[in-house]
Amino acid sequence: MAESPPPVLPHVAVILLAGGQGTRAGFDLPKQLAMLGGKPVLRWSLDAFSAHPAIGGGVLVANGDVMAALGDVPDTWFSADPGEERQQSVANALAALRDWDDGAFVLVHDAARPGVTAEVIDRLLAALGDAEAAIPTLPVPDTLVEQSAHLAGEVVDRGALARVQTPQAFRLGTLRRAHAEAAESAATDDAQLVRRLGLAVAAVPGDPRLHKLTYAEDMMILSGLLGTGTMRTAVGMGYDVHRLVPDKPLWIGGIEIAHSHGLEGHSDADVGLHALTDAILGALGDGDIGDHFPPSDPQWRGAASYRFLGFAAGKVAARGGRIDHVDLTIIAEAPKIGPHRTAMRARIAEILVIPLERVSVKATTTERLGFTGRREGIAAQAAATLQLPEI
């Protein structure tokens, strides 16, 4: 007896949301364009959907700058403008799908989750055989507590909870109706709008690889989950000098130190953070602090130097790399740095979002020789060791 032919699925479209700026990640470009394993985060999802045999096309919701930076998009895909909120972006994509029949299936996915797998797609589409909507979920492994004013409260029963991921799958007509009836009510995902119609939403097993890129450190998590290849060690060096002048605050290593003189400069002149910033940029092969924050630009007058160091750390994360270690040496006759080393290490670790043990701060003098010996200025030199993915 001949085998029965496989069931024919309705047409399947994808709405790929890539309109956000991702400011919490701290990158100097939209997080969906950050490089992960040699290609932009957004490209991972686009490639996965384009390769799936059941998917007939999609709508990429992104602004013109993102579209231009991304490059070629498959012929069966077209674009829609992002809205102010996620819900409006989905509505714009639905308008772009006006020629698709209500009986089609649609997957709605956040581009900040690059780890799309064919297995999750298959599970979602299969669930739509009996449901109007389906979402991938993962169990909650951690103990959960209520929290107020940084104090832990009662334990929340995690047995009835799950972590919701994307892509989420819908019958196209159902999703259209859910958005049409949403009026002014807001929701953080489309499944919530469908549940408000009184319809059940099926849950299928998700995948840890669908981890969401929200913060800079998530790039390292995704690199491990997606196996983006080997890493190489990169080392950079930085050096900076600033003149001591009276009646100015003295900032070194991210903290203010009581002293008769402060450092003169366009920003707050934190000689330590400037040297560290240059060391990281040097390891990245990405110029120096003056290239990114030129003294001729008035917006950086008096700026706090932690912003420069945080910017450099964000560029490491955007490359899918990590900061293994930083070593800062401050060269000064006065003030004494020793009493402040612990606070400096803690502040630098906080800015770079790395463990304290990866930060070294040392101090030395020039035995009263040269401009530092004459107490005319303070110098700093730094080294940064990074791990960066091979391209």
Phi, psi (deg, nearest 5) at residue 289: -60, -35
User: What is the DSSP code (8-state) at residue 63?
Assistant: -
pLDDT of residue 345: 96
pLDDT of residue 27: 72
pLDDT > 70 in the chain, percent = 95
* Per-residue pLDDT at 91 exceeds 80: yes
pLDDT bin (cut points 50, 70, 90) of residue 4 is very low
pLDDT digit string, tens, across residues 228-249: 667 789 999 999 999 999 989 9
pTM of the model: 0.66
Tokens linked to 135 = 């979402």
**Residue with token string 């964000």:** 314
Closest by Cα among 92, 100, 95 to 76? 100
Query: Domain limits of the chain?
Result: 12-214, 231-389
Task: Look at 102 and 219; give whichever has higher pLDDT.
Answer: 102
Task: In whole angstroms, give the CA distance from residue 241 to residue 237.
Answer: 14
User: What is the DSSP code (8-state) at residue 158?
Assistant: G
Contact of 109 with 166, CB cutoff 8 Å: yes
Closest by Cα among 309, 296, 340 to 238? 309
Task: Look at 186 and 199; give whichever has higher pLDDT.
Answer: 199
pLDDT of residue 3: 43
Task: In whole angstroms, give the CA distance from residue 27 to residue 21.
Answer: 9
Render 238-252 in DSSP notation, one character per residue: EEEEEEEEESS-EEE
pLDDT bin (cut points 50, 70, 90) of residue 285 is very high
* Per-residue pLDDT at 134 exceeds 50: yes
Contact of 134 with 40, CB cutoff 8 Å: no
pLDDT of residue 159: 87
Closest by Cα among 167, 163, 132 to 49? 167
29-33, 42-46, 199-203, 310-314, range with the lowest pLDDT: 29-33
Q: Give CA 78 to chain center in angstroms.
A: 25
pLDDT bin (cut points 50, 70, 90) of residue 109 is very high
Tokens linked to 226 = 């997606």
pLDDT of residue 226: 81
For residue 344, CA distances in Å to 48, 53, 152, 360 come to 45, 55, 29, 9
Render 122-144 in DSSP notation, one character per residue: HHHHHHTTT-SEEEEEEE--S-E
CATH 3.30.590.10 is the classification of domain 231-389 = no
Average pLDDT for 64-80: 86
- Ramachandran bin of 287, using left for φ above 0, alpha for ψ from -120 to 50, beta for the remaining angles: left
Task: In whole angstroms, give the CA distance from residue 103 to residue 385.
Answer: 55
Average pLDDT for 128-155: 90
Using DSSP's 3-state secondary structure scheme, residue 118 falls into helix
For the domain made up of 12-214, the CATH class stated in words is: alpha beta
User: What is the DSSP code (8-state) at residue 79?
Assistant: E
Count the neighbouring beta carbons within 10 Å of the beta carbon of residue 11: 15
* Per-residue pLDDT at 2 exceeds 80: no
Contact of 61 with 81, CB cutoff 8 Å: yes
Tokens linked to 328 = 């800062």
167-181, 258-272, 311-325, 374-388, range with the lowest pLDDT: 311-325
* Per-residue pLDDT at 218 exceeds 90: no
